[in-house]
Amino acid sequence: MTVHKTSVLVLDCADPVGLAEFYATLFGARIRIGDDPDFVEIIGHQGVHLAVRRDVGHAPPSWPRPEDSLQVHLRILVAPGDMDEAEREAIGLGARPVETHGGSGSRAVRVYSDPAGHSFSLAGHPEPSPHGPN
């Protein structure tokens, strides 16, 4: 028998409440702070479940510098027609665009860093068919 499991992506940062507010607002989600104020969860209505944890020695990743590897990033899926609006929301909340293609290439995937320096992308993703997969 397989034991039921779930997962949560945890981002380390210096200010967990501040970063949780960024993602909660971006996703239209809510924040849950439990007994440990250094561990804050972001819980959304469509499966969004992230957490942020205080790391007093946190240093933001330096990706996309060529000598560094991207260890993890969050890909946020949006309808292709909503990409520009999603980008405005993210930047308005404090995200910083990260240009990795020298200004050329597909704008179907747009890369940013969050206020704590973690990489994330907005990616065009077609709406699922109401009739299921083709």
pLDDT digits (tens, 9 = 90+) for 26-60: 999 999 998 888 999 999 877 778 888 888 887 77
Q: Which of 121, 119, 117, 120 is nearest to 14 (CA)?
A: 117
Q: How confident is the model at residue 81 (pLDDT cuts 50, 70, 90)?
A: confident
Say yes or no: 28 and 41 in one domain: yes
For residues 38 and 93, what is the distance between their CA atoms, to the nearest angstrom?
A: 22
Domain boundary among the residues 40, 59, 78 is at: 59
Measure the CA–CA gap between 52 and 48, rounded to whole angstroms: 13
The total of structural domains in the chain comes to 2
Q: What percent of the chain lies above the pLDDT cut of 90?
A: 34
Q: What is the mean pLDDT of residues 11-19?
A: 92
Determine the residue type at 76: I
| Domain of residue 50, residue span | 1-59
Q: Could you tell me the CA-to-CA distances from 34 to 31, 41, 53, 75 in Å, in that order? A: 10, 8, 12, 26
CATH number, position 89: 3.10.180.10
Is the same domain home to 120 and 91? yes
Based on the fold, state whether residues 75 and 54 are members of the same structural domain: no
Is the peptide bond between 126 and the residue preceding it cis, with omega within 30 degrees of 0? no
Q: What pTM does this model have?
A: 0.73
